[in-house]
């Protein structure tokens, strides 16, 4: 994978490490996900604001739309600047969801880290031949 993210000798150090979480719907037990290191921290106030914004993107079937981070992290100033920087800067357009685990709310972040978007294929560049794009998944639990 790109930038040595699959280096099994060092999967607990650096900015991206093996995630302690996986999506609830993931059936492939061998799929590896990554999370930021350190994990972003939020206050209760920011968590509640973010939770409300994430839940507002949920569709009628109960799903969160792909790339809804753009809608959630609008530059309206009500979501913590550091959190926006830590997540939106690294991931760009990602999918943000929300759920409850053992009575505790969490906000999840999922992205297939497309460092070289598919649009470059029109120029004859196939970055995927050098490795599979890393998948990012992590959760921020309510404080």
Which tokens hold the place of 42? 């939020």
By the 10 Å C-beta count (0-12 exposed, 13-18 middle, 19+ buried), 108 is classed as buried
**Spatial contact of 76 and 101, defined as CB atoms under 8 Å apart:** no
Compute the chain's Rg from CA coordinates: 16
Split into its structural domains, the chain has a count of 1
Q: Which two tokens stand for residue 29?
A: 């037990």
Q: Is residue 34 part of a domain?
A: yes
Q: What is the pLDDT along the chain (143 residues), one digit of tens a residue?
A: 455 455 555 566 677 788 999 998 888 988 989 888 888 888 898 889 889 989 999 999 999 999 888 888 775 556 656 666 666 566 778 899 999 999 999 999 999 876 666 666 777 766 666 667 788 999 999 99
For the chain, the distance separating the N- and C-terminal CA atoms, rounded to the nearest angstrom, is 34
What is the reported pLDDT for 89?
A: 60
Tell whether 2 is covered by a domain.
no
Give a yes or no: residue 67 inside a domain. Answer: yes
Q: Is residue 48 included in any domain, yes or no? A: yes
Question: Which tokens go with 116?
Answer: 């070289």
Domain hosting 76: range is 7-21+30-141
In a domain, 56, yes or no: yes
pLDDT at 1: 47
Contacts of 40 (CB under 8 A, 6+ apart): 82, 83, 86, 87, 140
Would you list the DSSP string of 105-135? Answer: EEEEEEEE--SS-GGGGGGT--GGGG-PPPE
Q: Does residue 1 belong to any structural domain of this protein? A: no
What pTM, to 2 d.p., does this model score? 0.79
């Amino acid at each position: 994978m790109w930038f040595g993210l699959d280096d099994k000798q060092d999967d607990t150090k650096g900015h991206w490490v093996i995630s302690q979480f996986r999506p609830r719907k993931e059936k492939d037990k061998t799929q590896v996900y990554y999370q930021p290191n350190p994990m972003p921290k939020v206050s209760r106030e920011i968590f509640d604001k973010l939770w409300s914004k994430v839940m507002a993107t949920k569709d009628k079937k109960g799903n969160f739309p792909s790339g809804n981070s753009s809608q959630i992290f609008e530059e309206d100033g009500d979501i913590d600047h550091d959190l926006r920087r830590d997540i939106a800067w690294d991931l760009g357009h990602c999918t943000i969801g929300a759920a409850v685990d053992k009575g505790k709310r969490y906000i999840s972040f999922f992205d297939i880290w497309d460092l070289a978007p598919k649009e470059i294929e029109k120029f004859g560049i196939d970055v995927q031949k050098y490795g599979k794009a890393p998948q990012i998944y992590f959760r921020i639990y309510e404080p």
